[in-house]
Amino acid sequence: MSHSDDDLITYNHPYFQEFELVAQVCAGASAVGSLTVVLTAFLFPSLWRKKIYMQMVVMAAGCDWVGSTFAAFGFPTDDELCSIQSHMTMFFLRASYIWIFFITLKLYLYMKFNWDGLNMLEMNLICWSIGTLLQGLPYISGMDYGEDDHTAGYQPCVFHKNHLPDGYSVGDMVSLGVL
């Protein structure tokens, strides 16, 4: 069975516009949910003051709120907006994952070894250091934040390959010491 060009889904297909709307609704709902957790902590400070697990939950929710808020802006076509969106979304959603990992790790260490583990200052230092290092990895591998020109506006802004000279791959540029 052969396929014609009419069977292919292109970027002009209505599914892409629906996908953007679904992505915006999901990111917006995540942002609202995370914001309620953060606001609850600030409206009722006794719930989280000197309670390390609640502080970690609030940190994870705050990071998710910022990342989801930027993701809720849809699929921008402007290069600068797309770059900003991908930087902020990737950085803060990664940080949220790291905070969730810390909650799990701290609970495990306490249950298994009766050890409190890291304090908030140490976890903050680790979280933001790892996040900053991970934020720089795409540049090392010849990638950048944002989106390619041919996919701009049709998918979430995450990564794209830097423009390389014709005939060169990322591996070639790394071996030459350019990247």
Overall number of domains in the chain = 1
More confident residue, 10 or 88: 88
What is the C-alpha separation between 58 and 37, in angstroms, rounded? 7
pLDDT of residue 179: 42
Residue 23 falls within a domain, yes or no?
yes
pLDDT tens across 132-160, in order? Answer: 999 988 888 777 777 766 666 667 777 77
Residue 64 three-state SS: helix
What is the C-alpha separation between 108 and 113, in angstroms, rounded? 8
pLDDT of residue 58: 95
> Is residue 76 within 8 Å of residue 82, measured between CB atoms?
yes
C-alpha distance from residue 156 to each of 87, 100, 106 (Å): 12, 24, 33
| Domain containing residue 46: CATH number | 1.20.1070.10
The model's confidence at residue 178, banded by pLDDT at 50, 70 and 90, is: very low
Residue 5 falls within a domain, yes or no?
no
Residue 6 falls within a domain, yes or no?
no
Residue 4 falls within a domain, yes or no?
no
Residue 47 falls within a domain, yes or no?
yes
pLDDT tens across 91-103, in order? Answer: 999 999 999 999 9
Residue 69 falls within a domain, yes or no?
yes
More confident residue, 6 or 92: 92
Residue 128 falls within a domain, yes or no?
yes
Model pTM above 0.95: no
pLDDT score of 21 more than 60: yes
| Structural domain that includes position 146 | 11-175
Averaged confidence pLDDT in the chain: 81
Which element (helix H / strand E) includes 176? Answer: none
Residue 2 falls within a domain, yes or no?
no
